[in-house]
Amino acid sequence: MKNRRKGSHVIFSFVFLVLGFIVAFAFQVAQADKDKNKLSDSQFDRDLSLRNELIDQEEKNNQLFKELEQAQKELSDYEKELSTKADSYYNLAEDANNYRMYLGKMPVQGKGVQVTLEDGNYNPNDDNVNNYLVHEHHIFQVVNELYVSGATAISINGQRLSHDSYILCNGPVIEIDGNQYPAPFVVTAIGDSEVMEGALNIKGGVKDTLVNENIKFTLEKKDTIKMDALRTN
């Protein structure tokens, strides 16, 4: 009888021990789930915070990109404006140089033509010597045709012409701005040699007119012509 009771106590003790382990294990599992839920909530909060920060940063980046595009557009517009102004300034400077060149204020160099006018051969049957001499109107015809053909600078016997130069015939010599020069008269012009040559040689033009008036006319194209600036007193 005592042994049977003792066996029952052992069984109950074992059962209670197992139940204790089960309860303890269940408690630990529940606690672990609770901690896991707490950890999951904390991770979710961090993820949400990071996501919001990324969204904010993306919005800032988009705004900065728009500002950059606007700045680039303004810079491009400014560069175009500067380019336009630079072109205007360049054109003004080029015009100023052309004016100084026409006025004879600066030395020039370039291609061009050289026209030599000489008195015609003596004709014993012609009592009027003026009929075969070079006169100022002959020189004017050449000079005017050269200017019309685009000459940028002209000289006669090395005397450069200005916008207010004058040419006078004084017997066997011509006077240019107070300086006298004998024949032959060499008219030199800087410009497009092809155009000037064509204009002078055109049928019925300047060359034909002068030759018909007994003037010796010689035309040459030059690769390099140099002219000094006019001297001012």
pTM of the model: 0.59
What is residue 172's predicted lDDT score, i.e. its pLDDT? 82
pLDDT tens for 154-198 read 999 999 998 888 899 887 899 998 899 999 999 999 999 999 999
- Domain boundaries 109-226, corresponding CATH code: 3.30.70.1880
Closest CA relative to residue 115, chosen from 144, 78, 85, 73: 144
Contacts for 25-28: CB closer than 8 Å, 24+ residues apart: none
Structure tokens at 223: 């690769």
The answer to whether 210 touches 117, Cβ cutoff 8 Å, is yes
pLDDT digits (tens), the chain, 233 positions: 444 444 455 455 555 555 555 655 555 655 555 555 554 566 767 767 777 776 777 777 777 767 767 777 777 777 777 667 666 666 666 666 666 666 677 888 999 999 999 988 877 676 676 777 899 999 999 999 999 999 999 999 999 998 888 899 887 899 998 899 999 999 999 999 999 999 999 999 999 999 999 999 999 999 999 998 876 55
Residue 89 has a pLDDT of 60
Comparing CA positions, the residue from 188, 191, 120, 201 lying closest to residue 155 is 188
Element (H, E) at 127: none
Domain boundaries of the chain, sorted by first residue: 1-106, 109-226
Phi and psi at residue 227, in whole multiples of 5°? -135, 135
